[in-house]
Structure 1
Amino acid sequence: MKDKRILFVSSEVVPYLPETELSSTAFNAAKNAHSKGVQTRIFMPRYGVINERRHQLHEVIRLSGMNLVVNDVDMPLIIKVASIPKERMQVYFIDNEEYFKRKAVFTDEDDQLFSDNDERAIFFAKGVIETVKKLNWAPDIIHVHGWLASLLPLYLKEFYKEEPLFTESKIVTSLYNNSFEGTLDTELANKVKFDMGEGKKLATIETPSHTNILKSAIENSDAIIHGSETISEELESFIKEKEMPVLEYQLENLKESYLNFYADLLSVD
């Protein structure tokens, strides 16, 4: 795996957000790969709760300045970058004042999901891809963590399917037991449809529940990793139907098992 390129895309990463199973696993997966000579890039949203001064975030002018269209509205894309202390790993932050300035991550003070989480997910997915295009950095593996990042596989397989930078990339999605109640905005499928037109794959997110968003990620991925010890039976059954490579939950040997899983995936024609 030395000198291979892995793009880690996560809705949460320590030390920028509190330690959770998801934020820690995303960080450790990248750290372990980096320590073995793999070229890594980490992308996450720049939530308003992230202390930019403490973590030394700074805007990358040459990457910023694009506008992304979300539901027929132009939204400015700002790219910030920081280095994780001691690890020499770069983290790129997808930022937009409308979507990410608020001092919270997914929910308001009443613990209700933000009404625009669907558009935040679209903006994040497109922002990651457009930034990687500007970097001209073709990843061998794209490893997705967290439901806010779960539209990325769909966009890569459909909206950006002609983009040569990603034609050889293998998409891996990690699944976590971090569900939310209810659904995102019920217009999510129509907003995605604005980008990529009609398609069977959009039927999965017509009802944008946590489970259905992850199903969309699964059906547009090349392999799945269990990031939590247990995931819903519905998702388990859905994965079995797809007959795709799966790495079961790793409690101890995360470093070698993830790297071996990536290598096996790349060795398949």
Structure 2
Amino acid sequence: MSKIFMVSSEVSPFAKTGGLGDVVGSLPSALGKLGDDIRVVMPKYGCIPHEYLEQMEFKFFIYIPLGWRRKYCGVFELEKDGVIYYFIDNEYYFGDPYLYKWNDLERFAFFDKAALEILKHLDWKPDIIHCHDWQTGMVPVLLNAYYNKDTFYQGIKTVFTIHNLRYQGIYSIDIVSDFFSLNRDFFTADKLEFHGCANLLKGGIVYSDYITTVSPTYASEIQTPMGGEKLDGLLSARSQSLYGILNGIDYNVYNPKTDKYIFENYDARNVVNKKRENKMKLQQQLGLTVDGEKVMIGIISRLVDQKGFDIIAEAMGELMNMDIQLVVVGTGEAKYENLFRHNAWCNSQKMSANIMFSNELAHKVYASCDIFLMPSMFEPCGLSQMISLAYGTIPVVRETGGLKDSIMPYNEFTGEGNGFSFYPYTAHDMMYTLRYAIKIFSDKKAWTDLIKNAMRQDFSWNESAKKYQDMYNRLLG
């Protein structure tokens, strides 16, 4: 049994903005079921739901050195699904409802130091500290810089997971040196220095024993100039310690048979008729033409370039000329929000633009649509394509990162596959593949078989957790 201490800026269901929160919300309990002793630490944000605040128990408080400052740190504890969670309390840094703000360097410098400081007060020493993304990238650096001079911290191994290499936490060397109490020896090209600045994510890569990322293909892509975000040389140098492990999803949350948010529950036995009923009820709710035979395409995403919205924008006129319906749920860059609002206003019977985040509506879209469109420029893992498969909604994706690892292109001659994919990042290739998917949709037997293929897929955390456990065991020898 390994003792793992996970450090993350967000954890579902307490507070999250995206996939990072989902992963750290599901992986610990899956590892716990395999016999590991898992504990998780995160900030005590002001947005944590009241039901969880009521369950927290205050344990102790200490003061954290932050450069020349000493800051109050309260520690609260909550146990859920066999995992112990610790919440770092400081009203100045985390008291409001925002996970990320203008002063994130100072906030997460405090959090990283607090995560290490509280260990000595828990009567529990981890074998491994597992950090997630740039917000916690300095934990391995601090452990190496001065914490491991204390006998308590000696022998603790570190793992650092990159959820999205594009976000790196780049700040001036002077201010990073101040908050983390590091001398100039740490700010050289082989350590934290990055084009004249300090790079917190680079710190996690350099100083961790093992590095993981969230899909095997993404682990390869980030070692290339195209996908490496100027860190490809470093990642290639550390390739022997780099692992790509595909994320999973929680089938207790994403299960059309028990989902409380959808209009009609279903499973593989009655999926065709029930999906049609869900579609017609969603059409009615959104003011679209009610027609169960109409191809409905869903998009649930952050509206940013990474997710392929530049090629969707290029193809928008062509999409609106097709005999389809398009349902969009998400927020992001103003240019894409306005693109979808305008086209929905011009084509109110065939397009619905829901510029918001609504968990309930997202579930309804997964259950009601025939096709899920996800043409990402790059995608470290992606969860939406896995969720859509669980609901029998067929993904059309670009072959990158976790999309390539999870979607097997449909073969009309053998009936194999669970979706449709293309590689060249162009509107033309996306539309060619989308039209091909719609052609297969017109063959009801082929489409029904494809839906059942999709719903048979298993992307539960069980398999992914076993791979993490194997990696931990390898690290511990």
Taking a change above 3 Å as real, the CA distance of residues 147 and 160 of structure 1, as seen in their structure-2 partners, is same
Amino acid at match of 1:142: I
SS in 1 for 2:473: helix
Matching of residue 95 in structure 1 with residue 95 in structure 2: no
Unaligned runs of 5+ in 2: 248-458
Q: Is the 8 A contact 2:172 2:198 kept in 1?
A: no
1:97-176 correspondence runs (5 A): 97-107=91-101, 114=102, 116-176=103-163
1:34-49 correspondence runs (5 A): 34-49=32-47
Q: Cα RMSD (Å) of the superposition?
A: 2.7
- Offset of residue 103 of structure 1: 1.8
Q: Which residue matches 1:197?
A: 183
Q: Is the 8 A contact 1:9 1:43 kept in 2?
A: yes
Q: Deviations over 1:62-99 (max 9, x none)?
A: x21x1112131121011112222xx1211001121111
Taking a change above 3 Å as real, the CA distance of residues 247 and 227 of structure 1, as seen in their structure-2 partners, is same
- Offset of residue 209 of structure 1: 10
Q: Which residue matches 2:48?
A: 50
Larger RCO of the pair (alpha carbons < 8 Å, separation 6+): 1
Which one of 19, 23, 28 corresponds to residue 25 of structure 1?
Answer: 23
Q: Which has the larger radius of gyration?
A: 2
SS in 2 for 1:199: helix
Q: Is the 8 A contact 1:224 1:244 kept in 2?
A: no
Amino acid at match of 2:93: Y
Q: Which residue matches 2:256?
A: none
Amino acid at match of 1:38: D
Q: How many residues align?
A: 253
Residues of 2 paired with 1:163 and 1:264: CA distance?
Answer: 25
Unaligned runs of 5+ in 1: 108-113
Taking a change above 3 Å as real, the CA distance of residues 39 and 137 of structure 1, as seen in their structure-2 partners, is same
Amino acid at match of 1:24: D
- Offset of residue 189 of structure 1: 2.4
Residues of 1 paired with 2:108 and 2:466: CA distance?
Answer: 31
Q: Which residue matches 1:241?
A: 237
Q: Give me the TM-score of the superposition, normalised by structure 2.
A: 0.49
More displaced 10-residue stretch of structure 1: 28-37 or 180-189: 180-189
Q: Deviations over 1:223-258 (max 9, x none)?
A: 011125635413343122235412114254312111
Which one of 66, 70, 75 corresponds to residue 74 of structure 1?
Answer: 70
Residues of 1 paired with 2:169 and 2:470: CA distance?
Answer: 37
Residues of 2 paired with 1:209 and 1:32: CA distance?
Answer: 41
Amino acid at match of 2:472: Y
SS in 2 for 1:60: strand
Residues of 2 paired with 1:201 and 1:186: CA distance?
Answer: 7
- Offset of residue 216 of structure 1: 0.6
- Offset of residue 149 of structure 1: 1.4
SS in 1 for 2:203: helix
